[in-house]
Amino acid sequence: MKFTPDRPLVMAFAIISSIVHIIAPTRVRRAMYRLLLALWASVAILAAAMPVKAAAASTQARLVIEAAMDREVAAPLLAAFTRRYPDVELDYRDRSSMAVNARAQQPDPRVDVILSSAMPWQVALVNQGLAQRLDSDEARQWPQWAKWRDEVFAFTFEPIVMAYRLDLAARMLPPVSHADVLNLLTQHAETLAGRVVAYSPSKSALGYALYLQDSRYSGRFWKLVAALGRVDATLETSTQRMLAGLSDGRYWLGYNLLGSYALQWAQTHPDIIVQMPSDYALISMRTAFIHRHAPHPEQARAFINFLIGREGQHVVAGETPLYSIRDDIVGPFTAQSLRDQVGQRLYPQPLDASSLSMLDTARRNDFLARWFDAYSGGTRRPDGRLRSGRQSLRSHRPPARRPRHPWL
């Protein structure tokens, strides 16, 4: 960021003196050289004084980040950024993905960076023109599948996992794949009744996206939803709440948890086992973009470049369970290490315009209706109308057919 005066000045000096050399007679030449030298010296002195001013200006710089990322998980990353840019004052606001999304759409949000795990929503924000393009070497080198329009960048590669209490392992064979979960739910329905937790498709953005993806990759997905309904699974809004419930002993089994949070949690809660699905694993990616009306665009660019640069990714791979996307980073948490663990069947959510279809109201309503239909044990007649299912004990009610907002 520093102003380096030397190269352009030296070039200007060289050009001017060669012109003088060519056109002027010797006597004039000498006088002009003296004048030029004096000029050069004064400019150099001025220039030497300038970086001090620039540095002084940047000490006041702030960086406002609206993030749907747990402060605890993000802490090493933020600390590393502060070490690298000690002059930037970080204002990190940890919120839910829906709150972040709403904040980004305010007319004058005074936010620099929007960071969220709700990928379709992030893409929608970019599509609305709320992002700035990032033009940097890091951005250009970033893999094509992990960025869109050079505006929004995915910088983590977080597997979706299952988690269970040791209580469960004591009574039955713990699940290692999606099929195992379905088997457990059917075979031990009575034992597990009320002790299973999963995302709410209607209240959690990530949950909806994950179910939609599950339905695409698993042929027995709807049976699994029905089984969740039969054990009266609790529908939560965040991984943190699911983990808290597991630790409390309220739940024995959690389905589709964010791996990053679960792994972090398990480090301090030995009674909870985190299981990476062995058949296939969905991948959720944390995305970040610079807000169009960012008050501190320079710092925001520095932050994104840091996130997707070698340094940031090194922290992601080594100190957080967020998993690095870059192949050239070595550490316990990299996409490569995940591939070694699970195999090639890692399914990241697409980061492109096609994910906008998930947000389309009609499509979303249709999916939710079908989900709750399966969950409540009803079946669809050929004409698409619902047939009333069995009475359920669960406390959750299917949402209205038309939510008042697409991302309720």
| 155/333 with CB nearer other proteins | 155
Q: Which residues, 287 to 316, sit near other proteins by CB under 8 A?
A: none
| 271/360 with CB nearer other proteins | 360
Task: Give the Å distances, CA to CA, from 178 to 156, 184, 213, 249, 283.
Answer: 23, 10, 13, 22, 15
Q: Which of 18, 42, 105, 128 binds other proteins (CB under 8 A)?
A: 128
Quick count: other Cβ atoms within 10 Å of Cβ 47? 15
| 63/131 with CB nearer other proteins | 131
Give least dist CB 357 to other proteins, A: 4
Q: Which of 362, 381, 388, 402 binds other proteins (CB under 8 A)?
A: 362
Q: Which of 42, 187, 357, 379 binds other proteins (CB under 8 A)?
A: 357
Q: Which residues, 35 to 94, sit near other proteins by CB under 8 A?
A: none
Q: Does 382 bind other proteins (CB under 8 A)?
A: no
Q: Does 371 bind other proteins (CB under 8 A)?
A: no
Q: Does 25 bind other proteins (CB under 8 A)?
A: no
Q: Does 18 bind other proteins (CB under 8 A)?
A: no
For residue 110, give the 3-state DSSP assignment.
coil
Q: Which of 45, 382, 384, 390 binds other proteins (CB under 8 A)?
A: 384
Give least dist CB 314 to other proteins, A: 28
Q: Does 106 bind other proteins (CB under 8 A)?
A: no
Q: Which of 68, 126, 227, 374 binds other proteins (CB under 8 A)?
A: 126
Segments in 65-135 forming alpha helices (H):
71-84, 97-104, 119-127
Contact present, 271 and 164 (Cβ < 8 Å): no
Angle between helices 221-230 and 361-375 (to 10 degrees): 50
Interacting span for other proteins (CB under 8 A) from 37-45, 51-59, 76-84, 350-358 = 350-358
Interacting span for other proteins (CB under 8 A) from 27-35, 120-128, 219-227, 322-330 = 120-128
Interacting span for other proteins (CB under 8 A) from 105-113, 172-180, 246-254, 349-357 = 349-357
Interacting span for other proteins (CB under 8 A) from 22-30, 119-127, 256-264, 307-315 = 119-127
Nearest Cα residue to 113 out of 350, 308, 260, 323: 308
Q: Report the C-alpha gap between 61 and 59 in whole angstroms.
A: 5
Quick count: other Cβ atoms within 10 Å of Cβ 224? 22
Q: What is the 3-state secondary structure (H, E, C) of 381-404?
A: CCCCCECCCCCCCCCCCCCCCCCC
Name the one residue in this structure whose structure tokens are 């998930």.
358
Q: Does 127 bind other proteins (CB under 8 A)?
A: yes
Q: Which residues, 137 to 156, sit near other proteins by CB under 8 A?
A: 148-149
Number of residues that bind other proteins (CB under 8 A): 22
Q: Does 160 bind other proteins (CB under 8 A)?
A: no
| 267/354 with CB nearer other proteins | 354
Q: Which of 25, 86, 129, 382 binds other proteins (CB under 8 A)?
A: 129
Q: Report the C-alpha gap between 165 and 217 in whole angstroms.
A: 27
Q: Does 347 bind other proteins (CB under 8 A)?
A: no
First to last CA, the chain: 42
Task: Give the Å distances, CA to CA, from 153 to 138, 259, 278.
Answer: 11, 20, 28
Task: Give the Å distances, CA to CA, from 101 to 41, 242, 370, 408.
Answer: 54, 22, 26, 11
Give least dist CB 164 to other proteins, A: 33
Tokens for 125, please give them. 């924000």
Q: Give the length of the chain.
A: 408
* Contacting positions for other proteins (CB under 8 A): 124, 126-129, 148-149, 350, 352-363, 366, 384
